[in-house]
Structure 1
Amino acid sequence: MDKQKIIELTNKLYKQTLLFPKKEPLRYKMRETADNILAELTVWEISHSSNPRRLSIEKEFEVLKSYFNVAKWQNWVSFFDLLKIEEEYDKIKGELFFAETKAKPSGEQFSLEPRKKKILEILKEKEKIQVWEVKKILPNVSKRTLRRDFEFLLKQGIVERIGERNETFYKIKVGQSVLPQCPTLK
């Protein structure tokens, strides 16, 4: 997290809220929330301990997002200027929480949705499979959803993709220790 970036963003918010009516409470609420986010992120950086502060920071981001939604419709400032600042805050939030989830130890267990576990069970039995074959086994699930599930498993490094387009097959990645992490697959 670049400290200078969040300071500049807070300054942009201050400049935009200067254009709000002087006695408008939203002007001060948005500034206060932006200040809280700046303070929380600064403390977070110093402490290097993300978990205790995560809920507090996430709450501040959501509050600020609500304030942006109110402010955008007041016609005090350009809708697009506010939208741009809001998107920058969303980007920082995404970077912050994406970095935190990425930093988790790789040995940590994760739980899969029952549908994804079922896909892995099918893969364990058939070795390699196409989306349409899973669709036959799980008729209530759309092909699009199944493709998303395979994409998720691919990104997690659990399965690998072989081929392209109509010749795409999926199989459990060689040497992958999926089974101990997914208790239902033992």
Structure 2
Amino acid sequence: MTKEYFVKLTIALYKVTDLFPENEPLRYQIRQKAVEILSSLIGENPKIDTSHIQELSRNIEILCRYFEVAQAQNWVDKKNLEVLEREYRKIQKDCLAREKVYPKASSQKIVEKTSETSRRGRIQEDSEGSKREKTTPKERKIKILELLKHKKTLTLSEIKNLFFQVSQRTIRRDMEDLIKKGIVARKRIGQKDVRYTLIKTDITTDRLRSMI
């Protein structure tokens, strides 16, 4: 699996979740988790220790649970979500196999089907936990730059959707800092949104991180 594959999978996920209701929290939960997974996979020197692999596997597991809930809502063709889940499961299996790290027995047990209300409850707990998570400015900027490096362009609203627990004013400050450092260029689109691009597209991820 290549970096290009991981990026294309993330873009495909964005296209599918574009069909979710605009203000649906699950739409942004899925996107944020996908970006966390992407960030773990596309670094210049990704970590390969056991804890990193286990964290990656856990994030994929949570993402697949989100897919289950989304399938029950009939917002999109279920086949689209099934394909996404299958591809993320492949990543999970590949990472675990390469590092010879296997899930704990408890994670291999068959999970009994529960009512939609129960599953909604689990997602709500994850959602509330995620909202309480704090990201530092540097962590946000690294994630933004890694995605920009591969997606080429991002709008302010797209970036805000990645960090829905952070205010738009804070995101603007992050981007202003990247602009002042000569890393990112800005172009206004319409009256309300802004598009950002990397000034140097051939720069390595490690170099970008050192510039923040």
TM-score (ref. length: structure 2): 0.45
Read off the aligned partner of 2:59 and give its amino acid letter. Answer: E
Residue deviations 1:106-158 (CA, integer Å, cap 9, x gap): xxxxxxxxxxxxxxxxxxxxxxxxxxxxxxxxxxxxxxxxxxxxxxxxxxxxx
Matches within 5 A, 1:130-141: none
Give 2:55's aligned residue.
56
Distance 2:6 2:96 in 1: 15
Paired residue for 1:65?
Answer: 64
Structure 1 residues 26 and 78: alpha-carbon distance in aligned structure 2, compared to 1, 3 A threshold: same
User: What amino acid sits opposite 1:93 in the alignment?
Assistant: Q
Q: CA deviation at 1:79?
A: 0.4
- The answer to whether the aligner puts 1:87 opposite 2:86 as a matched pair is yes
- Distance of 1:72 and 1:85 partners within structure 2: 11
Give me the TM-score of the superposition, normalised by structure 1. 0.51
Q: Structure 2: 5+ residue runs without aligned partners?
A: 102-212
Q: Which residue number in structure 1 is paired with residue 4 of structure 2? A: 4
State the Cα distance separating 1:95 from its structure 2 match. 1.2
Q: How do residues 12-91 of structure 1 correspond to structure 2 at under 5 angstroms? A: 12-43=12-43, 46-91=45-90
Counterpart of 1:98 in structure 2 is 97
**Count of aligned pairs:** 101
SS of the residue corresponding to residue 42 of structure 2 reads helix
Cα distance between partner residues in 1 of 2:50 and 2:6: 20
Aligned ranges 1:83-162 → 2 under 5 Å: 83-101=82-100
* Structure 2 residue identity aligned to 1:40: S
SS in 2 for 1:46: coil
Q: Distance in 2 between matches of 1:24 and 1:46?
A: 35
Gap change, CA 1:47 and 1:79, over 3 Å in 2: closer
Query: Displacement of 1:42 after TM fit?
Result: 2.4
Asked if the contact 2:48–2:99 (Cα under 8 Å) also holds between the matched residues in 1, the reply is no
Identity of counterpart residues, as a percentage?
39
- 1:96 Cα deviation from its structure 2 partner: 1.4
8 Å contact from structure 2 (residues 19, 76) kept in 1: yes
**Pair member with larger Rg:** 1
For 2:46 and 2:32, the matched residues in 1 are separated by: 22
- Structure 1 distance, partners of 2:85, 2:5, is 14
> Structure 1: where are the runs of 5+ without partners?
103-186
- The CA deviation at 1:69 is 0.4
8 Å CA contact 2:53–2:95 kept in 1: the answer is no
Contact 2:37/2:59 (CA < 8 Å) preserved in 1? Answer: yes
Q: CA deviation at 1:62?
A: 1.0
After the TM superposition, which segments of 4 or more aligned residues of structure 1 sit over 3 Å from their partners? none
Q: Please give the secondary structure, in 1, of the residue aligned with 2:45.
A: helix
The secondary structure found in structure 2 opposite 1:83 is helix
Q: Map residues 161-180 of structure 1 onto 2, 5 A cutoff.
A: none
Bigger relative contact order (CA 8 A; separation at least 6)? 2
Partner Cα separation in structure 1 for residue 54 and residue 93 of structure 2: 14
